Each structure stands twice: as C-alpha cells, then as structure tokens.
Amino acid sequence: MSAPHFARIPNPAPVPEARRAEIVANPGFGRYFTDHMVTIRWKQGEGWHDPAVVPYGPLTLDPASMVLHYGQEIFEGLKAYQQPDGSVASFRPEANAARFRSSAVRLGMAPLPDDLFLASLSELIDVDRAWMPPAGGEESMYLRPFMIATEVGLGVRPASEYLYALIASPAGAYFPGGVRPVDVWLCTDYTRAAIGGTGAAKCGGNYAASLLPQAQAAEHGCAQVAYLDAAERKWVEEMGGMNLFYVFGSGDGPVEVVTPELSGSILPGITRDSLLVLAKELGCQVTERKISAQEWLEGAADGRISEVFACGTAAVITPVGRVKHNDGEVTVADGEPGPVTTRLRNLLTAIQRGGAPDTHSWMRTL
Ligand code: PLP
Ligand code: COI
C-alpha cells in the first residue's frame, strides 16, 4: 500500500479538557490513554486493509480468537516528544518498525510494512496532539503499537487474520521513584529466554514468563529482574524490560562502557544501540561482550565496576543502586547515579527533546 489513507472516526465523547490537563500534568506510566487509536487489519489473500483512526475503546474478539489461546502477539514501545518549535518528533521510529517486522516473522505473523507503521504514529499524534505533554519536562507520549492473531479457531498454526493497533499514553517516569537508582534482583531460579526461542522478539509471551520472577524480585524489594543465560546460567543477559550497561574505571583514568553482546536471546534495544554510539562520542571505550554474574558481583564489590545502569524506552536510563541475590547483596559504588550514567542520560534526553544537535538524524517529525 503506497501513501496509506486512514479513515477517521472522531471520538464523540472525548475526555473533558480539564480532566485531560490533570492527567497530562501527572500521568504516571501506562495508566491513561488518549481519545483515539489506530487499527489496521490483515487477511490472507487480501493483505493489509482498512487503516483507520477510531475512538479509543474495547476491542470485540471472538472467544476462539487465536491470540487468546496460543499467544500470537507482538508489540513495540516508543515515545514522541514535544519539540521546542512546537513540532512533535519521535526517536528512531524506523528502528521500531524494523524490530516489529522481525518480531512478526519470528512469531509467524504478517509483517506490517514500515510505511504503515510510521504513518500510524503520525495519524494518532495528529488527532490526539492535545494530549502531548509540554516540552521541557520529563514527560512524553508513550506509543504502544501491537498486533494480535484474530482468526477464529483452535488449530495450532499461524493465523490467517491479524489486527494491528496503536494506542498512546502520556507518560512520566517508569519507576515510581523517578530517576532514582533502583535495586535489581539477580534471578537464578528462572531464565527469560533461550537460544532458538523468542528472546530477541518483542512478544507478549516473554513478558508473561517474566511475571513470576518479577513478583519474586518485588518480594526482595527490587524493581526489576536481571536474567542469566539459559544454557550455562552464568552470563548476564538483560532485565525484564531493559538492557544493562556496566561502567569500568572512573575518575581521571580510562572509562570502559560494557554491555552484554547480543546473544540471540536478548532484545536488541534501540536505546542500547544508541548509547553505544553516544558513549563512544563522550570518549568512553565501548565493548559488547559476555559479562558473568560473578564479574558483576565481584567488580561492584571491589570497585572495578563504578556504575551500572539499565536502559530502554520506558526506563530511559535508570541507575542500578544495588544488586541482590540468593546469597547477599552488593551496592554499586555509593549507590548514587554515577557521572557516566548522568552524562549519557542528559545527552540522550537532550537529543530526544530537541535540546542538543541531532547529528545522527535519529529524530523523525511525526
Ligand atoms: N529489553 C527488553 C526485554 C525490553 O522490553 C525493552 C524495552 O523495549 C528493552 C530491552 C529496551 O529496548 P528499547 O531500548 O528499544 O526500548
Ligand atoms: C519499553 O521500554 O517500551 C518496554 O517495552 C518496557 C516495558 C514497559 C515492557
């Protein structure tokens, strides 16, 4: 489909302006949604059809829709930022479009063409622009594209019908503590993904499997789970919804920024990829390699590791204060946000909010 045309059905009962203002001023994360959503359908033999912007509201699904039984579902997460000149731009949405396609392929679903993915973002921002949090703050508009198998039937095979939808949610900090350091639970009872599995795809099933370990982490007072590889239970992979970075060295000496190499079972984060570029520009040596849980715990304890942080669209860059595990806990440095974490966070958020030059053409006006 070239130059997609979206039908528009305005919401006859939008959220009243005063209530909207209240929500946008204090949105939290993922709790409130704008007045509209985008839907596009796919059917075997017909392809993608009927792109539309419709009132936000419940989806009607047959109880035998395949997604409800076999979990054929994928999603994305990206943000749109109000720019100082009044325009709205998002950060590397082409990369989300490409990851959405590769997730679709892994889940045996119809890949959505990038032009439809990108056009859906522009359409929704256009109708719900009044919901955009203002420039200059921590808030942004979180965009959640997703796709489900809507064919009716209980046979286990790729569906012949899909629904793509896009919803939008004004968003503040993902963690209730804002950008304060979080504690992380190093999980040895469960793994997130194995080689050959779906770890590199952004599918709901990965997150369903993470909920029990996440509850376990919460029992230990931790905000997130750090997973180890499934084969050796030795190498750090990532967290339930973020990638991990380690800073070796500090002060006047050389600084090396290390992140686990893409193992095939790690989600290739767009923030991760961007920070590898920015850290190099800030003069750090950057390395993608295996890092063991033992190296993390020992390095944090003996000071070789000076900073640890998590990164992702929702979490942006969040410092890790402590790592807890079955046999104890280690505080990273003094438990406060370190200088490399802070510089990277400031640079990334300045680029996203139009406060620093976009030298890599990462921002796309919606
Ligand atoms: N890892 C997982 C499991 C995630 O859910 C996310 C969030 O999308 C990330 C990493 C970070 O990816 P990105 O930086 O593209 O948001
Ligand atoms: C994101 O950062 O967009 C995520 O998907 C992480 C989590 C909210 C699922």
Domains of the chain: total: 2
Ligand 1 pocket check: which of 90, 313, 318, 345 to mutate, most ligand atoms within 8 Å of Cβ?
A: 313
Does residue 192 sit in the same domain as residue 246?
yes
Residue 176 pLDDT > 80, yes or no?
no
Does residue 147 sit in the same domain as residue 218?
no
142 assigned to some structural domain: yes
Does residue 252 sit in the same domain as residue 147?
no
Does residue 169 sit in the same domain as residue 291?
no
* Its pTM surpasses 0.90: yes
Give residue 199 CA to ligand 1 midpoint distance, Å.
11
Please give the pLDDT value at position 315.
87
Range of the domain at 67: 7-173
Give residue 316 CA to ligand 2 midpoint distance, Å.
10
What distance in Å separates the CA atoms of residue 144 and residue 95, rounded to the nearest whole number? 14
Mean pLDDT confidence for 301-310: 94
310 assigned to some structural domain: yes
Q: What is the CATH number of the domain that holds 347?
A: 3.20.10.10
Average pLDDT, the chain: 95
268 assigned to some structural domain: yes
For the stretch 88-134, pLDDT in tens is: 999 999 999 999 999 999 999 999 999 999 999 999 999 999 999 99
Residues with CB under 6 A from ligand 2: 77, 241, 312-314
Tell me the pairing of strands 224-228 and 73-75.
unpaired
Residue 15 pLDDT > 60, yes or no?
yes
The DSSP output letter for 12 is: S
Does residue 26 sit in the same domain as residue 154?
yes
Does residue 341 sit in the same domain as residue 224?
yes
CA distances from 203 to 20, 90, 103, 200 (A): 31, 22, 7, 9
Q: ∠109-105-310 over CA atoms, to 5°?
A: 110
Between 12-16, 143-147, 179-183, the lowest mean confidence (pLDDT) is in 179-183
Q: Is 243 helix (H, G, I), strand (E, B) or coil?
A: strand
The DSSP output letter for 249 is: -
Does residue 93 sit in the same domain as residue 141?
yes
Q: Name which residue sits closest to atom 8 of ligand 2, judged by CA.
A: 314
For the stretch 266-292, pLDDT in tens is: 999 999 999 999 999 999 999 999 999
DSSP secondary structure, 97-113, as one string: HHHHHHHHHHTT-PPPP
CA distances from 68 to 62, 85, 166 (A): 9, 44, 19
For the stretch 334-355, pLDDT in tens is: 888 899 999 999 999 999 999 9
Domain boundary (149, 173, 197) is at 173
Please give the pLDDT value at position 84.
93
Nearest bound ligand to the CA of residue 273: 1
CA distances from 53 to 68, 271, 324, 344 (A): 24, 29, 45, 37
- Cβ-in-10-Å burial (0-12, 13-18, 19+) of 39 comes to middle
Backbone angles phi, psi at 259, to 5 degrees: -135, 145
Which residues have CB under 8 Å from 333's CB, separation 6+? 250, 300, 303, 306, 307
Domain boundary (173, 193, 212) is at 173
Domain boundary (173, 202, 217) is at 173
Please give the pLDDT value at position 178.
64
Q: What percent of the chain has pLDDT above 90?
A: 92
